[in-house]
């Protein structure tokens, strides 16, 4: 059974960089035809796609966040990571990692991590 | 303001049927597949429907998806109290070059 687990600091200071890692078990990132992505949800609000990566290292990001987002993959550890720079209180959210199925205009997220709350505060 | 528009809330009695709409445009819903997610309180979203109307393994046939024009619709029959959750639609927006989600609909089973 495929499982994803987010890890990283739960508190980040304003203007600093948020860093999260997603560990995948039950599937090999390097042998998968899927993408691996990040989605966030501010408290009490809806979902926002951040971006994704493929095992080759190629990445795709939400244009609204692209200037601040770095997504990378480590196939040796079966992990992928998110870095979001220059954070503000508006970046406070539950961050989810998920497996992203993407074929043409068909996008969906079929496996999700449990999510991790990241609070931006001094 | 979400690119995809969902009603903030819907309600129905146990055993009844409910539909949740997701309204978009030619740059998203019309030309790309829709998916639907169920988010129970305090948990991660769960995929209910993909490719407009397909159910992943393990999702009961009480849940269905359809699409017509600029709108996608999630249907739930035989409502149960355990169906109380937030429901989100999602798709690709070709103009924005991003995955977009609806604002979510809170289902109350009275």
In chain B, which residues have pLDDT < 50?
A: none
Among A63, A109, A110, whose Cβ lies nearest the Cβ of B96? A63
Among A64, A105, A114, whose Cβ lies nearest the Cβ of B33? A105
* Interface touch A46/B101, C-beta < 8 Å: yes
Which chain A residues have a beta carbon less than 8 Å from that of B91? 107
Residue B40: per-residue pLDDT: 97
Which pLDDT band holds residue A32 (cuts at 50, 70, 90)? confident
- Which residue reads 């977009």 in tokens? B100
Taking phi over 0 as left and psi of -120 to 50 as alpha, with beta for the rest, B72 belongs to beta
Which chain A residues have a beta carbon less than 8 Å from that of B104? 46-47
Which pLDDT band holds residue A105 (cuts at 50, 70, 90)? confident
Q: Mean pLDDT throughout A80-97?
A: 98
Among B44, B47, B97, whose Cβ lies nearest the Cβ of A114? B44
CA A28 to chain centre: 17
Euclidean distance between the first and final Cα of chain B, in Å?
28
- The torsion of the CA quartet B29, B24, A70, A41, rounded to 10 degrees, works out to -120
* Interface touch B90/A47, C-beta < 8 Å: yes
Contacts (Cβ under 8 Å, ≥6 apart) of B23? B4, B5, B6, B29, B70, B71
Q: Mean pLDDT throughout A69-81?
A: 96
Residue B90: per-residue pLDDT: 98
Question: A114 vs chain B: nearest CA distance in angstroms?
Answer: 5
């Amino acid at each position: 059974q495929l499982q994803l687990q987010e890890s990283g600091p739960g508190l980040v200071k304003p203007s600093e960089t948020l860093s999260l890692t997603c560990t995948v078990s039950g599937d090999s990132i390097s042998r998968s035809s899927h993408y691996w992505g990040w989605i966030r949800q501010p408290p009490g609000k809806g979902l926002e796609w951040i971006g994704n990566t493929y095992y080759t290292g190629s990445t795709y990001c939400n244009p609204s966040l692209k200037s601040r987002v770095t997504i990378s993959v480590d196939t040796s550890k079966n992990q992928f990571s998110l870095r979001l720079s220059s954070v503000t209180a508006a970046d406070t959210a539950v961050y989810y990692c998920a497996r992203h199925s993407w074929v043409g205009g068909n996008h969906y997220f079929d496996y999700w991590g449990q999510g991790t709350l990241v609070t931006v505060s001094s | 303001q979400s690119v995809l528009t969902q009603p903030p809330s819907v309600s129905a009695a146990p055993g009844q049927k409910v539909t949740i709409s997701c309204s978009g445009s030619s740059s998203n819903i019309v030309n790309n597949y829709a998916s639907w997610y169920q988010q129970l309180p305090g948990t991660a979203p769960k995929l209910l429907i993909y490719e407009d109307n397909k159910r992943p393994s393990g999702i009961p046939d009480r849940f269905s998806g359809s699409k017509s024009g600029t709108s996608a619709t999630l249907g739930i029959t035989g409502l149960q109290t355990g169906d109380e959750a937030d429901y989100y639609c999602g798709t690709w927006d070709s103009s924005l070059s991003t995955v977009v989600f609806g604002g979510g609909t809170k289902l109350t089973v009275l």
